[in-house]
Amino acid sequence: MSGEGLRYRRGAILADYVRAGAGGLLTGVPMLFVAGSPATLAILGVLTALFLLFGFRTLIRHLTVVTLSAEGIKVHGGLGGGFAWRELDQLKLGYYTTRRDRQGGWMQLALRGGGKRLKFDSSLEGFDRLVRQSVAAAVANDLPVSDATRANLASMDIPAPGPASQALG
């Protein structure tokens, strides 16, 4: 597949590396000085493991390049994957807020096709282009989408494909 490569924004990746590193240090270093307290060691160990997993997830996103073409989508690096647009059988666009007033947050696009599931969040450069191309494929495939996806597409000024589905999300 030929097409333009999309990557996660460098600033977002760098901020996630800093969070993972700081969290790992703040929870991992104290484990060296806690003697004889299994409960404290267990709690700090679990927290350190979570920050390490977050760092690994950040590395995967850092290595990910998404290629869009008229034929389909391909994910290089990271966990890889992809499928032809004609295989697209599910599209969900979710909004996850960080504040009660719903002013802060991010969007996540979940696609399924050809037996594969792909997820992308709005820190991907060209996310709006990816959503538009995915919606065009959904229209071509006559896919229904949920009311929540319709509302989230409307917030991006993108007309939703097909009739509303009964699915949640």
Count of alpha carbons within 13 Å of 147, Cβ hemisphere only?
Answer: 2
The reported pTM is: 0.80
Ordered by start, the domain boundaries in the chain are 9-63, 65-155
135-160, pLDDT tens digit by residue?
A: 999 999 999 999 999 999 999 999 88
90-137, pLDDT tens digit by residue?
A: 999 999 887 666 677 889 999 999 999 999 999 999 999 999 999 999
CATH of domain 65-155: 2.30.29
Q: Is 37 exposed, middle or buried (0-12, 13-18, 19+ CB in 10 A)?
A: exposed
